[in-house]
Amino acid sequence: MNSIHSTRFLLNSAMIQAPQRPPMDFSHIFSPFCPSILLNISSRPFVVLAKKNSEFEPVIKPSNVEDDDYDDIEDDSFLDEFENEDMVDDEGYFKDEYFEEEAEPSVGDGAGGGGISLAGTGWDKKALEIAEEVAMSFDEELGIYAFRTLLNASIQVRIERLTNKSGSPTMMDIESFSTEYRARLDEAESAGSIPENIALEVSSPGVERVVRIPQDLVRFKERNMYVKYVTEAAETGSSSEHDGIFRLISFDSEANTCTWGLADVRVNREKSGRGRPLNKKQKEWRLELPLHCLHLVRFYSEI
């Protein structure tokens, strides 16, 4: 298991340990009026849950615990429920081995890979329509990065800010979208167009968001990116998969090709010797690829 930094949150007099990268202070979001929000800490989501038409009472949970395990949680009962399963230590902290590695996001999976994924229920298209209307109400400042419905009557939305370089929304953005969308869902429930008691999770795309091809290439040109790609041998017609940490040099929208250079990051610098900067050959190295050879492109974080 990879080494994971951690931080501790004080919530409802219970201490809960959560992996994160980098250390950040989320204490300002734990107000009794905080809507249902999904926080992305590293690639692992933690949910602040809130019941419909009731006082908001945030609870953090790791993504690999089922929602049903968190019904009617109050104060320290959260810890009591899991102590028998040996998930927490004597001080009430989640043990490191409790957190499982998450699978790499798949492009268009409606979650970490962006895009839309509908469960095929009778109400999910209506839920998506409402989400899109809510996003449009923010005057093209917010957009839907990913949208997913689940068969357990859950909606997961990842929103992005369209007006900054990183694409990351603020906590106020997430709160505002969540509040407005929850209100619209309540109206639709009352009208009978969607089922009652739908669970809602709203989040940012994450610190290592998947880059949508081709529309996001130029937008995030300044970011270091992890790129998984294939090359094809003209002689044999065979292909092989490669990956690396690159920066985008240029993108030709007419030819549908992009040119990459090595990113100035530790993993690339170490290839020329520990502690040394990129050498001249590395700085001048270029890789030209057709867009169809890009299997996955996402932000890269060294932390």
Query: pLDDT tens across 114-141, in order?
Result: 999 999 999 999 999 999 999 999 999 9
Q: What's the CATH number for 105-207? A: 3.30.300
Beta strand pairing call for 14-19 and 199-203: unpaired
CB atoms within 10 A of CB 289: 17
**How far from 188 is each of 35, 131, 152, 197, CA to CA, in Å?**
18, 12, 18, 11
pLDDT in tens, the chain (303 residues): 333 333 233 222 233 333 333 434 443 343 333 444 444 443 444 444 444 554 443 333 343 334 444 344 344 444 444 444 454 456 554 444 444 445 678 888 999 899 999 999 999 999 999 999 999 999 999 999 999 999 999 999 999 999 988 899 998 999 999 999 999 999 999 999 999 889 999 999 988 899 999 989 999 999 999 999 999 877 777 889 999 999 999 999 999 999 999 999 999 998 877 668 899 999 999 999 999 999 999 999 887
DSSP run (H or E) holding 135:
helix 124-136
What are the structural domain ranges in the chain?
1-103, 105-207, 225-299
Burial per residue of 179-196, b for 16 or more beta-carbon CB atoms within 10 angstroms, e otherwise: bbbbebbeebbeeeebee
What's the pLDDT score for residue 273? 75
Q: What is the dihedral of CA 54, 26, 199, 117, to 10 degrees?
A: 160
Q: Is 75 left (phi over 0), alpha (psi -120 to 50) or beta?
A: left
pTM exceeding 0.85: no
Look at the chain and count its residues.
303
Query: pLDDT tens across 92-102, in order?
Result: 544 444 444 45
Task: Return d(Cα 85, Cα 65) in angstroms, integer.
Answer: 12
**How far from 244 is each of 34, 227, 254, 275, 278, CA to CA, in Å?**
39, 6, 25, 19, 15
